[in-house]
Structure 1
């Protein structure tokens, strides 16, 4: 694995469309709910003293939940001469072409997975069936890159 943060050699970058849209919609819903209830928390007296700190805390919980949801927007697949870069939630892992066997979409899976020797695999959350033709294009592009870079290095 190599450090992908400083590498500008990627020829193809794929980000999921549906997951980004769904995450932003979820963030909007969470924030609307938390803002509404946070601001209206003391609209009627229930016998409990509710202060501004309680309101801010409820809104803050919404911000934390929204931040966690936004991690889903980070997913991406990058391809280039260096190998395959897979970013799922937190960190990106880059695999040289000589370590990767292929990219497949399992019959009952929600996302594609990168295959390695010994029946090892990792999920590629960026490539999902919900993206339809965009995901199919990403799979085709992966196969083009594997043919271009993977076969030549595996033959050496």
Structure 2
């Protein structure tokens, strides 16, 4: 960012600088499931392509014949199954000083920190969750237990951002 833009934003009170205390914007994605899904997607396409190449000509047992369209259909099924598997690579969480954006396998939501009571990662839970003030729990599939320390570090980073927001709100209220 140029000095001129920085000065303009500072005078407007909207500077987007990352704080030195480690509470800057973060983006988190699961790692282990992404690796497993990409490998599985490739294997699915290869297996269905191999099956398609074995579907050749008329069968001698009287059950029907396989034609070129059947081979393409098998490859198409492999691609569809691979795309379905890749849906599990979609989860992501992005957070900054004002809000948290969560994208799960199906669906996503954006919440201001004001509605978040805390970030939970219960023992034995497959992923983290946002605890809201209306007693709802919103899953955060991007922070999975399978990622072990990376998930723990992600939850801690989200908790720091949440705490920094609560502190800023308390300071504004005290003025």
Interval containing the TM-score (normalised by the shorter chain)? 0.7 to 0.9
Task: Decide whether the 8 Å contact of 2:125 with 2:145 is kept in 1.
Answer: no
Q: Secondary structure at the match of 1:53?
A: helix
**CA–CA distance in 2 between the matches of 1:51 and 1:141?**
56
Task: Decide whether the 8 Å contact of 1:98 with 1:154 is kept in 2.
Answer: no
The unaligned stretches of length 5 or more in structure 1 are: 1-8
Is structure 2 residue 30 aligned with structure 1 residue 19? no
Task: Decide whether the 8 Å contact of 1:105 with 1:111 is kept in 2.
Answer: yes
Bigger Rg, structure 1 or 2: 2
The unaligned stretches of length 5 or more in structure 2 are: 1-15, 17-23
Task: Return the TM-score normalized by structure 1.
Answer: 0.86
Shift of 1:154: 6.4
After alignment, is 40-49 or 100-109 more displaced? 40-49
Cα 1:101–1:49 shift into 2, 3 Å: same
**Which residue is 2:96 aligned to?**
80
Is structure 2 residue 27 aligned with structure 1 residue 41? no
CA RMSD of aligned residues (A): 1.9
Aligned length: 148
**1:28 pairs with one of 42, 47, 68:** 42
Higher RCO, Cα 8 Å, sep 6+: 1
